[in-house]
């Protein structure tokens, strides 16, 4: 989907306002939860990359597992955008 320059500028401005709002102390629990989620995803990806059972040369299995980890955590990728 293409956005107009105006929409992109609005989105950017709104994004900055949201970030400013989230820096408020009352959002510390939300920030901590987001950080913990991110760390869990990174640990999962690290485990996948270090898994000797996934030894195909092209790393297809590793990439598929990483994509699955993203989807399992509510993050889309263009990997399966067919």
**pLDDT values of the chain reduced to their tens digit, one per residue, 82 residues:** 788 889 999 999 999 998 888 777 667 788 888 899 999 988 988 888 888 888 887 788 888 888 888 888 777 766 555 4
Q: How far apart are CA 33 and CA 14, in angstroms?
A: 22
Q: How far apart are CA 28 and CA 30, in angstroms?
A: 5
Phi, psi of 63 (to 5 degrees): -65, -45
Q: How far apart are CA 34 and CA 28, in angstroms?
A: 10
Q: What is the pTM of this model?
A: 0.52
């Amino acid at each position: 989907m293409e956005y107009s320059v105006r929409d992109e500028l609005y989105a950017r401005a709104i994004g900055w306002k949201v970030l400013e709002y989230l820096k408020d102390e009352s959002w510390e629990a939300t920030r901590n939860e987001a950080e913990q989620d991110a760390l869990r995803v990174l640990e999962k990806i690290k485990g996948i990359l270090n898994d000797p059972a996934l030894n195909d040369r092209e790393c297809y299995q590793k990439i598929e597992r990483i994509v699955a980890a993203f989807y399992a955590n509510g993050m889309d990728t263009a990997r399966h955008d067919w």
